[in-house]
Amino acid sequence: MITFEVFVANLKQVKERIDAACLSVGRPTDSVQLLPVTKNHPVDAVQYAAQAGLTAVGENRVQEASDKHAMQLADVRWELIGHLQTNKAKFAVATFDRVQSVDSLKLLNRLNRCAGEVSKQLPVLLQCNTGADPNKYGFSVAQMEAALEAALASEHLVVEGLMTIAPLDQNPAVARAAFEDLRELRDRLSEQYSLPLAELSMGMTGDLELAIAAGSTQIRVGTALYGARSY
Ligand SMILES: *Cc1c(COP(=O)(O)O)cnc(C)c1O
């Protein structure tokens, strides 16, 4: 695990990348939130983020997040960004403040039921596989209207926006297209259903500039902040 000083230096660099990306497309530099991704790092990663003034962290497994949650004293919000098995929905509702990775109707319905059982309103994002990557979870673009309608009919879910993970590809045009497609999809659904769908969670260490140019409101960054993960 890196030291806090190294984390602070990394954070400064990431913020400089965000600022430069915003400025190059004429966006205000505070229009993009940074979600530090602490998965596969010790609980210190969460403490570092909190100490540096960041208010939320991203994790991709419920058990790992729950263990860290129990261990650490920092007051941060927990966001689930990884695929969730339906049988862990109850555990996820108890652990996370928002689920970004709602990727099937089955999961959506289960999360709604579990949130209802504990009288919770659960903020969610709908994950769309805009890059049509066979290795990624998420609704297809064609499924998104039905997904949104199901989410809107779910009394205990609050749909805040959309999320995508771009396909890994050497050619930046691939990620750019995936991000632009999510943005266009959001604009279309937002108009059709008269909803803000304000959050566009897209962009990671390798492609955050492309995501910001396409309209990202939240980038999810692990490696550039904490170094390589040991799996
Ligand atoms: C791991 C992960 C990230 C962070 O990726 P880095 O390349 O380390 O910045 C972002 N989003 C999701 C969904 C992830 O699983």
Q: Distance between CA atoms of 143 and 159, rounded to whole angstroms?
A: 16
- d(CA 192, ligand 1 centre) in Å: 31
At 72-88, the pLDDT tens digits run 777 899 999 999 999 99
Question: Domain of 154?
Answer: 4-226
Cα–Cα distance for residue pair 63/44, rounded to 1 Å:
17
User: Domain total for the chain?
Assistant: 1
Q: Which residues line ligand 1 (CB under 6 A)?
A: 37, 39, 60, 81-82, 165, 204-206, 220-224
Tokens of 60: 């991709």
With a CB cutoff of 8 Å and minimum separation 6, the contacts of 214 are 176, 179, 180, 182, 183, 202
Mutation test residue for ligand 1: of 35, 57, 81, the one with most atoms within 8 Å of CB:
81
- The pTM of the whole model exceeds 0.95: yes
Give the integer Cα–Cα distance in Å for 96 and 197: 20
CATH classification of the domain holding 77: 3.20.20.10
111, 155 Cβ separation under 8 angstroms: no
Query: Measured from the CA of 208, which atom of ligand 1 is nearest?
Result: 9
Instruction: Please report whether residue 231 resides in a domain.
Output: no
Each residue's pLDDT tens digit, 110-135: 999 999 999 999 999 999 999 999 99
